[in-house]
Amino acid sequence: MMAVRRQQQRPTLESVARAAAVSRQTVSNVLNAPHLVRAGTRHRVEAAITAAGYRPVKAAQILRTRRSHLIAAGIPAPATHSGEVVDAFLQALTGAAQQLGYRILLVSAGDDATEISAYDGLLREYDLDAFVLTGTHTGDKRTAWLLGQRVPFVTFGRPWGGGARHPWVDVDGAAGVHAATSHLIAAGHRRIAFLGWPQGSGVGEDRLSGWEQSCRAAGLPTAGLVCRMEQELAEGRAACARLLDTPQPPTAFVCVSDEIALGAWTELTARGLVPGRDAAVTGFDDSWAAAVTGLTSVAQPLTEVAAACLGALDALLAKPGGRRSPAQVLLQPRLVVRSSA
């Protein structure tokens, strides 16, 4: 007679509670509101969960907590942000979200209007908990729309040009560029140019202010040493060439991005000049290209940005509708010195 194999029973909330010698509610609190459980009890329940291989049923959690644990993240247009920075941020955001039990749904759009339309469609089709926006800019229509819809959200980037009525996390670009410029001044440079983005870019103006503050504090000239351009290597090279051909060329170039800095690097090497010996160059974002070429750059703490964004959302979702000042987190970048400076 063929033996009948008994199917192993799937662990349940009740079986975990028995194993940990606690109530069913305590196990539920450990899973959904761990801050309510004393550390010793929480550790015992977590050990029982791990030993039993218990996995909570997501559908039941959604019904109980009325939260989907699904967050939509907007991806900015390539022209407004470094693709490498966005990729690194989204990777960090996804990892941090998984640790908190959230899942990320990516949304890509070319401008505010199409992104808002995509958000509207998502809200109609999915039970989203919140949104994470990137690439904030002056006159950002997305934030005003989400505020009008009473949808929880946080932005990676400050609300340029207006007061904040929502939580945001950003990196202090002015401090990063100030550190890069001050490093060049300490190395003996006295004519330092700034290669930046067009007027109207909140991020670009923030970084420009760091260069201005550092130069003025040291009594160095700034007139005629600023060039503005889109984020393209070719324009960075052309701007560097124009400045090098002036009667008093700069001896150092502080750039708003690594891409523009690599353009300046290309022009210097094309003239037989060695970056870091004949003229210094610094960038911003600490890209892989910066590491490979030896470009001094400013690194953004993207892992900390992602964690702070999710922390702000988690606090917002824990007490929906509660009155509180929106979280405003400004993180400090780090200057990575290499051979170009």
Report the pLDDT value the prediction gives residue 10, as an integer from 0 to 100. 72
Which residue ranges of the chain lie beneath pLDDT 70? Answer: 1-9, 33, 55-68, 77-82, 319-324
Q: Is 134 exposed, middle or buried (0-12, 13-18, 19+ CB in 10 A)?
A: buried
Angle at 332 between CA 260 and CA 316, to 5 degrees: 115
Report the pLDDT value the prediction gives residue 322, as an integer from 0 to 100. 53
Strands 153-156 and 130-134: parallel
Report the pLDDT value the prediction gives residue 51, as an integer from 0 to 100. 87
Report the pLDDT value the prediction gives residue 57, as an integer from 0 to 100. 54
CA atoms within 13 A on the CB side of 70: 15
Per the structure block, which two tokens stand in for 28? 């539920």
Report the pLDDT value the prediction gives residue 2, as an integer from 0 to 100. 37
Angle at 125 between CA 121 and CA 129, to 5 degrees: 95
Furthest CA-CA distance within the chain: 100
What whole-number distance in Å separates Cα of residue 273 and Cα of residue 252? 12
Q: At what angle do helices 13-20 and 24-32 cross, to 10 degrees?
A: 100
Q: What is the DSSP secondary structure assignment for residue 198, as one 8-state letter?
A: P
What whole-number distance in Å separates Cα of residue 105 and Cα of residue 132? 10
What whole-number distance in Å separates Cα of residue 188 and Cα of residue 170? 31
The 8 Å CB, 24+ separation contacts for 144-147 are: 145/116, 145/119, 146/119
Per the structure block, which two tokens stand in for 299? 């690194």
pLDDT tens by residue, 90-140: 999 999 898 888 889 998 877 899 999 999 998 888 888 999 999 888 889
What whole-number distance in Å separates Cα of residue 330 and Cα of residue 149? 26
What whole-number distance in Å separates Cα of residue 209 and Cα of residue 289? 25
Report the pLDDT value the prediction gives residue 317, as an integer from 0 to 100. 85
Contact predicate 207/163, CB 8 Å: no
Report the pLDDT value the prediction gives residue 202, as an integer from 0 to 100. 92
Domains of the chain: 70-171+302-331 (3.40.50.2300), 173-299 (3.40.50.2300)
Number of H helices and E strands in the chain, helices first, is 13, 12
Contact predicate 202/136, CB 8 Å: yes
Report the pLDDT value the prediction gives residue 320, as an integer from 0 to 100. 62
